[in-house]
Every structure is written in C-alpha cells, then in structure tokens.
Amino acid sequence: MKINKQTTSLLRDELNEAVLSVAEKHGVTIKFGNASYDDDTIKFTNVMVSLEGALSQTEKDLEFIKPFHSDVDFDKVAKVQGHVFKIIGYRARSRKNNWIVLDQRTDKKYVLPLSSVQDYFKKANGVAI
C-alpha cells in the first residue's frame, strides 16, 4: 500500500462507513475530517462526533451573527442570473467571504462577501421584501 491523496480519501470514506454502526447505536454522527499524510503515516486532524440533527458550525455561527445584521433578510430567496440563492451559513473565522449561500437549483454552495449579501438579501425600509 502506498499512501497518497487517493488512498487517504479512500481510507477516510471507509472509516466513515465503518463507524456507522457505533454512531447508530449511540444516536450520533461521526465524521473523519481533513487529513495530512506522508510516505507512511496518515493523521486525521479532526474527528467530529455530534448528536443527530445538530447544527453545523457554520449554521451555529449564522445564528450568532443574525442579530448584528438587521438589514439582511435571512428568509429571502435571491434570484441572480439564473441562480436561486438562500443564506445557509456563516464562516466566523474567514476575513472576507464569510457568507455561505446555496444555489437551490444545483445544490452547489458559494461564499460571498458581506457587500453581496447586503445587495441581494436586503430588507426594504427595515421590512423584509
């Protein structure tokens, strides 16, 4: 066996699948995250164990930041150049492109700066439009 990007990815997928029975037994989800590797070692930098239905960190950060952006309508669906976007998360540790939006037509995630969020998801006169 040779350790490279492909084997690391394959091993992560197999580990995630192998712990499914333990996760189901305890009512949690278990995910092996990012990994670093060299010629003979793989190190997983994080293993996440969370309760079923728990919010992701970006969803928790979004809930925290909402009160500070009363000018943004978080329930709005923005239509931009054939895309249909909804705000789904916030990256608190990111300096610029903090806001995570989901294109509901393609299920693809994008990150946006605050200026774009204020343009596309703005409340009119303090009232959601």
User: Do 79 and 99 reside in the same domain of the chain?
Assistant: yes
Q: Would you call 71 helix, strand, or coil by DSSP?
A: coil
d(CA 60, CA 82): 29
Q: What is the pLDDT of residue 64?
A: 95
129 or 56, which is more confident? 56
Specify if 126 maps to a domain.
no
CA separation, residue 96 to residues 28, 70, 85, 112 (Å): 33, 19, 19, 8
DSSP-derived secondary structure letter, 49 = E
User: Do 39 and 23 reside in the same domain of the chain?
Assistant: yes
Specify if 127 maps to a domain.
no
Residue-range definition of the domain harbouring residue 41: 5-51
Statement: residue 129 has pLDDT above 50: no
**What are 113-122's contacts with CB under 8 Å, separation 24+?**
117/72, 117/87, 118/71, 118/72, 120/76, 120/78, 120/80, 120/85, 121/72, 121/73, 121/74, 121/76, 121/78, 121/87, 122/71, 122/72, 122/73
Residues 80 and 103 sit within 8 Å (Cβ to Cβ): no
User: What global pTM score does this model have?
Assistant: 0.69
Q: Would you call 16 helix, strand, or coil by DSSP?
A: helix
Q: What is the pLDDT of residue 39?
A: 87
User: Do 46 and 68 reside in the same domain of the chain?
Assistant: no
Q: Structure tokens of 75?
A: 């329930």
Specify if 128 maps to a domain.
no
Tell me the pLDDT of the chain averaged across its residues: 90
User: Do 81 and 45 reside in the same domain of the chain?
Assistant: no
Q: What is the pLDDT of residue 106?
A: 93
Specify if 33 maps to a domain.
yes
Q: What is the pLDDT of residue 123?
A: 83
Q: What percent of the chain has pLDDT over 70?
A: 96
Statement: residue 128 has pLDDT above 70: no
What tens digit of pLDDT does each residue of 9-45 get?
999 999 999 999 999 999 999 989 889 999 889 999 8
User: Do 27 and 69 reside in the same domain of the chain?
Assistant: no
Q: Can you say how many angstroms the Cα of residue 48 is from the centroid of all Cα atoms in its chain?
A: 14
Q: What is the pLDDT of residue 85?
A: 95
User: Do 65 and 103 reside in the same domain of the chain?
Assistant: yes
What tens digit of pLDDT does each residue of 47-96 get?
889 998 889 899 999 999 999 998 899 999 999 888 899 999 999 999 89
Give residue for tokens 């943004």: 72
User: Do 40 and 95 reside in the same domain of the chain?
Assistant: no
User: Do 61 and 11 reside in the same domain of the chain?
Assistant: no
Specify if 35 maps to a domain.
yes
Specify if 75 maps to a domain.
yes
